[in-house]
Copies of this chain bind each other. A is one copy, B any other.
Amino acid sequence: MKEYRHDALKRMKTIPLFKGLPETQLHDLSRITVLRTFGRGETIFAEGDGADGFYIVLTGRVKIFKLSSEGKEQILHIFTSGEPFGEVPMFLGERFPAYAAALEESLVLYIPKTAFINLIHKDPSLAMNMLALLSIRLKHFTRLVEDLSLKEVPQRLAAYLLYLTKIKNKTEDIELDISKGQLASLLGTIPETLSRILNKMVAQKLIEVRGRKIRIVHTEAIELLASGIKTLT
């Protein structure tokens, strides 16, 4: 990890969390924040670390994950540019309940607790932005819990493929934005299981796979799978 003093004011203006915040306050804030870079795979914080501040992704991607006692990983979130992480345990004055690591070379902004707490008491728009943020995150978790408890892996995978087509506005040809190993962890399973299910889908002519590139051949069937109406035999 490398650390820099900086003048990231321009960058901070584009962060949704700071929308509506007076420029002067943003300027003050920028002077006590720190830029940090993390290499691919590098740990940003570990479960149990004290949360004396939080982070915002500027470039790259960061995963938040838990580890089981046997070492299995469950990804809770993947954050990209402009998204804050680690702010909840900071609010609560607790330790981080999960790990954070860079999925790729990433630039993040570190914001110390006291500075932010002062600011949020001064400016109501910051509190409202924060509320919106946490609300969206809660919704995300609701779906994650639902998936893990009530759906099988093929259904979760189908839903993820459709999600990719949606955010990329492509209907058929998509490219995984993470490795298959990481995808397995995101879907709450392991690489072996994911591999087998992809195979099955290929065998049933639902999709074609070439490395990270996936072509959805039978969209209808994938949608039926994702909605839980059908199962993958």
Contact = CB atoms under 8 A, between A and B. Distances in A.
Interface of A: 66-69, 72, 74, 76, 88-89, 91-92, 94, 97-98, 120-121, 124, 127-128, 130-132, 134-139, 141-146, 148-151, 188, 227-229
Contacts of A134: 131, 134-135, 138
Given A91-B131, A127-B128, A134-B131, A74 B139 contact: no
A60 B132 CA distance: 29
Nearest to A143: B97
Contacts of A127: 124, 127-128, 131
A76 B148 contact: no
Given A134-B138, A135-B134, A145 B74 contact: yes
A137 to B, nearest CB: 6
A91 to B, nearest CB: 5
A49 to B, nearest CB: 15
Given A97-B142, A127-B128, A139-B97, A148 B148 contact: yes
Contact of A68 (B67, B124, B144, B228): B228
Enumerate the 7 nearest inter-chain pairs by beta-carbon distance, A residue then B residue, closest first. A68-B150, A69-B228, A141-B141, A74-B149, A127-B127, A134-B134, A148-B148
Contacts of A143: 97
B92 A135 contact: yes
Nearest to A132: B91
Contacts of A151: 68
